[in-house]
A and B are shown apart, each in its own frame.
Chain A
Amino acid sequence: MLTTRVIPCLDVNAGRVVKGVKFSGLRDAGDPAERASVYEAQGADELVLLDVSATPEGRSNATDTVRRVRQVLGVPLTVGGGVRQVDDARRLLDAGADKVATNTAAVEDPSLLDRLAATFGSQCTVLAIDAARSARGFEVVIRSGKERTGRDAILWAREAAARGAGEILLTSWDRDGTRSGYDTELIQAIASCVNIPIVASGGAAHAGHLIDAVNCGASAVLAASILHDGETTVGDLKRALANAGLPVRL
């Protein structure tokens, strides 16, 4: 049967891995290709690389980073950040991405998802949703969390799946980098209304959090801070999932 994926996430700025709290206060966390090799050797099922730079120079750096990571990485690579049109996705795929994630641009023009799916297939089209708790439920936030949209995250997930997104990378803005656990209510709300896989992101501190996310319907779990800081390894996390009775590739 299909196993639960554990996916390290590399936020990359100017060719370096960085990590912040609630999308800001970035600090250095190493060389992307080096981190990629280490995580694959630990048993990472896949890697996500998010380009968090905001400038055109940063963008072209990111393509080089993808190329460097691809040379050493023998597992799937999802790349996001700055994908505004089909050509941006093509550039990343040509450099070595296997899937491309889009976020802000898809909120502003949802037909981007239709175009990406038609050109590259749903299995290649990932929608990243950053969701924040609000008085009415879960609200989509964009521009690295700087802007609230008023859009309901559940309705957005459902629309994205209908438009051809093949996977949702679901980040809780409230939990990102806080180590207080994934937002399991958010995961459950989204996973119960779409048939495509959900990757849970934001807030993992230990294996127990990963297990909670999977039990709430996540197909995969993303982790960054706890891995970059060397507190745990992908292998340890996967063994804990296996001990909890979840199917994993060991």
Chain B
Amino acid sequence: MRVAIIDTGTANLASMLAALRRVGANPTLTRDPAEVAAAERVVLPGVGAFGSGMAKLEECGLVAAIVDRVSAMRPMLAVCLGLQLMCRSSKESPLVRGIGILPIDVVRYPNEHDGARLTVPQLGWNEVVPRPDAELITAGYAYYANSFHLAAIPEGWTGAESVHGVPFVAAIERGPMLACQFHPELSGPWGHDLLRRWLERPTSC
């Protein structure tokens, strides 16, 4: 199955390419808005800062194509910064406007919680607890590498939560759209199974 990965230049795409190949997909890299609009399945990866990520999407003219896909509920997988870019804004780059599909402002983890020190960035495996109505996301452990997070699952989506001092959004899903704060491509067999379910999910559901 062909999957178009949005190549924003800074993300370490080799892991995503390797994982998608391992689950039987045929991933290609693109920054062409027409291709992002037309592809059956699209991955919006993300490593790096909110501001530079948005700048890259705007420079390539990709924002409208992403908004159109989500409005039309067409299959998309956003990962880590990719999820955050879908939001309205982020404390990481306060002057930058996000894609804005999700009415959420991304915030940073506190440095401590209940008197206990929290490491920031969160680097490592954390437990994922899905809502009962989640269809793609299952319970398990996922690998995270993030300093910023979404505090609550937006209305109209379901998903899963994890806790790093405070509860935060592990992933959200709606039909064939999945957006993960964690890295499914680095989350071992559990993450690969999630990728497989997203790939096998009917394009309209």
CB <8 Å contact, A3 and B141: yes
Chain A residue with the shortest CB-CB distance to B112 = A195
Please report the total number of A residues contacting B with Cβ < 8 Å. Answer: 38
Q: Is B145 an interface residue (CB 8 A)?
A: yes
Q: Considering the chains assembled together, what is the distance between the CA atoms of A75 and B154 in angstroms? A: 29
CB <8 Å contact, B123 and A74: no
In the complex, chain A residues 117-144 whose Cβ is within 8 Å of any chain B Cβ: 118-124
**Nearest-Cβ distance from residue B130 to partner chain A, whole angstroms:** 17
Please report the total number of B residues contacting A with Cβ < 8 Å. Answer: 38
CB <8 Å contact, A123 and B124: no
Q: Is B151 an interface residue (CB 8 A)?
A: no
**Nearest-Cβ distance from residue B120 to partner chain A, whole angstroms:** 6
CB <8 Å contact, B126 and A123: no
Selected interface stretch from B13-21, B172-180, B196-204: B13-21
Q: Is A166 an interface residue (CB 8 A)?
A: yes
Q: A96-B14, A197-B124 are known contacts. Are A75 and B47 too (CB-CB below 8 A)?
A: no
CB <8 Å contact, A75 and B188: yes
Q: Is A219 an interface residue (CB 8 A)?
A: yes
Q: Is A71 an interface residue (CB 8 A)?
A: yes
Q: Considering the chains assembled together, what is the distance between the CA atoms of A99 and B10 in angstroms? A: 13
Secondary structure call for the B interface: mixed
- Chain B residue numbers with a CB within 8 Å of A1 are 126-127, 163-164
- Interface 0/1 of B48-86, CB less than 8 Å to A: 110000000000000000000000000000000000000
Q: Considering the chains assembled together, what is the distance between the CA atoms of A247 and B127 in angstroms? A: 10
Q: Considering the chains assembled together, what is the distance between the CA atoms of A120 and B49 in angstroms? A: 8
Q: Is A51 an interface residue (CB 8 A)?
A: no
Q: A97-B12, A197-B119 are known contacts. Are A124 and B47 too (CB-CB below 8 A)?
A: yes
- Interface 0/1 of B84-100, CB less than 8 Å to A: 00000000000000000
Question: Which of the residues B117, B119, B192 comes within 8 Å of A74, measured between beta carbons?
Answer: B192
Q: Is B186 an interface residue (CB 8 A)?
A: yes
Q: Is B26 an interface residue (CB 8 A)?
A: no
Q: Considering the chains assembled together, what is the distance between the CA atoms of A164 and B16 in angstroms? A: 25
Q: A1-B163, A70-B15, A74-B189 are known contacts. Are A196 and B125 too (CB-CB below 8 A)?
A: no
A-B contacts, 17 of them at CB < 8 A, read A1-B163, A2-B119, A2-B126, A2-B144, A2-B164, A3-B141, A70-B15, A71-B18, A74-B19, A74-B189, A75-B143, A75-B186, A95-B14, A98-B183, A98-B186, A167-B123, A219-B124
Give the B-binding residues of A (Cβ under 8 A): 1-5, 40, 45-46, 67, 70-71, 73-77, 93-99, 118-124, 166-167, 195-197, 219-220, 249
